[in-house]
Structure 1
Amino acid sequence: MSATAQLPVVSPSPASLAIGGPILVASDGSALSHEALFTAARLAASAFGGALEVIGVCEPMPGVAAGMDVLPVPPELDEARRATMLEDLQRSVNISAAGDPHWPISVLVGSPPRMIAMEAEHRGASLIVMGIGRHNPLDRLFGTETTLSTLRESHVPILAVGPNFPASPSNALVGLDFSQASIQAAHLALRLLTQGGRLTLVHVRPRFEHPSADWQAWDADYGRTLPPLFEQVGSQLDTPPGVTVETVTVRGDPAPALLAFAQQSNADLIAVGTQRHSFIERLVVGSVATRVLRTARVGVLAVPGK
C-alpha cells in the first residue's frame, strides 16, 4: 500500500463561472412559493449581475385508460392549466414584497426538472433559484425532490432555499473536496455573502481507525497535503474586503459532518459541488449533495461538475 495521499486541485476557468447570465427562479405561484424564494432571487441577481426571470412548468395531464385504449387529454386542458399557473405566478410576484411586477414570467408544459434545466442552459443562466419544501407530499415546484431531480438534469448551479433564508447571508460554509465543482461552489458562495461575512472551507477527512503502520503513514501524509491545498484554493478566491475566509478540517462521513458543522456554526448557507463521472453517478447526483439537500435546514448551493 502506498503511503502517498494525493488530492489534486483543479482550477476553475473563468468561463465555467457563468456570471452575468439571468437568474432563473422556478416557482408555481402556490402559497409554498414564500417570500424567501424571491428574496434569494434578488440577492443572486445582485451578486451575479444578471436579470431575474421567473419560470413555471406544468406537467402534462396523462391520458385516461379506457379499456384497451388510452384517451388523450384535450390540449385545451393543459393550456388552461398553464394559463392558471401563469396567473398564480403573476399574483405571487405582485404580492411579494421582494417581487417585481416587471420580471418576465413564463410557464411551459412538460417535465419540471427537465424543462427547468433546459431553459436555464438555453438562456445562459448563472443560477437557478428553487425551494426546499418540507413535510408536504403535495408540493410541486417548491419541493426538495423536484430540486434534486433538476440538479440531476442541470449543468447550471442551483440555490435551494427555505422560508428562513436571509436577505443578507453572513455565514456560509463550503464542502471542499478540492474538485473543480467544489472550488466553483466556493467562488459562488463568496459572492452571496454580505460585507463582513465569513466563508468557511470545510474539508472532511476519512474517519481514521486502522491500526496498521501503512494506514498511519497514509493518514499522516494526507494531513500534510491539506495546508498547501487550502492555501492554493484561498489564493484563487477573489475575496472582497471585510469578508473572512477560514479553513476547517473535520473527520467523518461528508454529509453528516457538513450538516453538523453547519448547525454548530449557525451557517446561513451550505455550498457543495457534485460530480458526474458515470451514468449511475448522474442518476444519484452524489450522496453528499443529495443528503445535504434533503436534510439541511438552511440554504443549499449545489454546483454541478462538468
Structure 2
Amino acid sequence: MNEILVVDDIQDNLLLSKTILELNGYYVHATQNPKDTNKILKRNNVDLIILDVNMPEVNGIELCKRLKKNPKTAHIPVILFTAERTSTEDIVSGLNGGADKYLTRPIQEEELLAWVRASIRDKMAYDDAFRQMKEERLVFEQACNEAPPAMILFDSEGTPVFLNPGAQAIFSRYSTKTRTRTKPPYGLHPSVIKLLKNLYATTLVARRRKRSNRADTEWTLPDGHTLQMLIMSLESDPKDSRGNDYTLVMTQVPLKNLPFDPDTFAIRHGLSKREKELVTLIFQGYSNMEIGERMFISEHTVKVHLKHIFDKVGVKNRTSLIRKLFV
C-alpha cells in the first residue's frame, strides 16, 4: 500500500484530503503541524507529500524547498495545495521550489487522484532505477575487488570515493604518522587523500590534452615508482543531486612495478613452496578462480591454502594480506 503524507493547518481540509485518499486505497499520514513533517518521514516510507501553501508557521513553498534540499527526502514528489485565487508568481515560486504539481481548491477529486497516481508512478520508477543502480554498483565493486589492476573511482571534485584492494595496498603505504580527527574513505590518511587529489589533477590534464573520455597517463609516486594509468570517464550517479561525473583510473598492468620478494616473504612467515606461489599470484592481482586454474587446483583448495596463509601471516582476509606484502 502506498503511503502519503498530508500537511494542512486547517482541520476540515486535512480531513477531506485524508478521506478521499483512504477511500482510494492509500495509507495517509495526516498532520496540522508542519514541524511534524521530518519526524513522520523518518519513521515511514512515504511515497508522496501533499502540502498546503498557506500555513502560518511555515508555508508550503518554504517547507517544500527544505525537503528538496535534504538528500534523504529530495526524491519524494510534492504536490502543493492553495486557495482558488493564486498568482502566477506564487505558482512559479512553488514549482521552482521543487514541487511537482500546484493544485487549487476547491478540490476536484478526480484531478487530485490522477496527479497522485502519476506522482507515485514517478516515485516508483525512481526507486526501481536507484535499486538497480545500487545492485549494479555492488556488482562493480565486487568485480573490482577480484580484478588484477588497482582501481580508483573519483568524483568530479577529485575526491576518491572507491578504492579496490589493489589501490588500497599501494596508497596506504604513503600515510604520514601525524594524528587527525577526520575519518577519510577506506581509513586512508588525509595525506594520502591529498596525494590522490594531486594525481587526479594529472589525470584531468591527460584527458583534456587527448579530448577523449579515455586517456593514458603516468603517476609518479613519492618513492619514485611509476604507474601506467588508464583513465575512463563514467556517467553520473543517478542519486547524485549535483550531477557528478565520475572518473575511473586503473593501472594498465598488475602490481609488477612495486617491490615484492616472494622468497623473503615466505621465509619470514614460514610459507611452503606452494603457499609462496599462491601469495605471488595474489600479489599479481589474480582471483581465487584464476589462481586455481594456474596452479591446477580447485577454488576450494585455494581457499584452504589461503586460510593457512592468513594464520601464518597473522591476517584475516586478502586485503590485509596485500597490505602485508608491502611491509
TM-score w.r.t. structure 2 length? 0.25
Write 1 or 2 for the structure with the bigger share of helix. 2
Write 1 or 2 for the structure with the bigger share of strand. 1
Greater Rg by CA: 2
TM-score w.r.t. structure 1 length? 0.27
The one of the two structures with greater contact order (alpha-carbon pairs below 8 A, sep at least 6) is 1
